[in-house]
Amino acid sequence: MNYWLIKSEPFKYSWDQFEKDGKTIWDGVRNYQARNNLREMKKGALCFFYHSNEGKEIVGIAKVVKEHYQDPTSTDPNWVVVEIAPFKKLKKTVTLEQIKTQPRLAEIGLVKQSRLSVSALKAHEFDVILELSATK
DNA sequence: GCCAACGTTGGC
DNA sequence: GCCAACGTTGGC
C-alpha cells in the first residue's frame, strides 16, 4: 500500500471545507509528475492533507474513494482527478517545522520538492508523521 | 535538441 | 513582497 501527501492552499480549498463537502475531486492538477502520482493512487489509499502557505501543516488524512479518471475541468485526456473523502482529522497538526527537524523525514517530497502538489510517501514516513501528530 | 526566458509555487 | 526552485515554452 502506498501513501501520499496532497497539498492545497487553505485559501482555495481547506480541510474544513473538505469535511463539510464529505468528499471532493482533486482537480486542477497540471503537472506531469503529480499527474503520474494521481494515476497510481489506489482506492483506499491514505493521503495526508497539507495546507501550504497558510498554516504550513498537515491537518488530516484523506482516503481515496475513486481512482483516477479524466479531469472534468479539462478537455485534455492527459489530466486526471481522483476522488477523496476525509478519513481522519489529526488530533495535533504536524507543521512543516516539525517535519524539518525529523531526520527520518528529510527525504519526503514535501521537503525535497516543495512545489509538487501530489507526492508519494514511504510507509515509514507515514508512520513518523502519525507519531508526531499524536505526541506533539 | 539545446537553452534562455518566462511563469508558478511556496517558504521565508 | 522577495526570491529560489522548478517546469514549460519557444527560438534557433
- Classify strands A57-70 and A3-8 as parallel, antiparallel or unpaired: unpaired
Give the per-residue pLDDT at A136.
45
Question: 3-state class of A134 per DSSP?
Answer: helix
Q: What's chain A's average pLDDT?
A: 93
| pLDDT per residue as tens digits for the range A29-71 | 999 999 999 999 999 999 999 999 999 999 999 999 999 999 9
Protein residue closest to C8, using CA and C1': A31
Domain boundaries, chain A: 3-133
| SS3 state of residue A55 | coil
Q: Are A109 and A96 in contact (CB under 8 A)?
A: no
Nucleotide showing the shortest C1' distance to residue A115 CA: B9
Strand C proximal residues, A:71-110, Cβ < 7 Å: none
pTM: 0.93
User: Distance between CA A129 and CA A107 in Å, rounded?
Assistant: 13
Do the Cβ atoms of A34 and A26 come closer than 8 Å? no
- Using CA atoms, how far residue A131 sits from A45, A47, A77, A92, A126, in Å, is 19, 15, 39, 10, 9
A3-133, which class in CATH? alpha beta
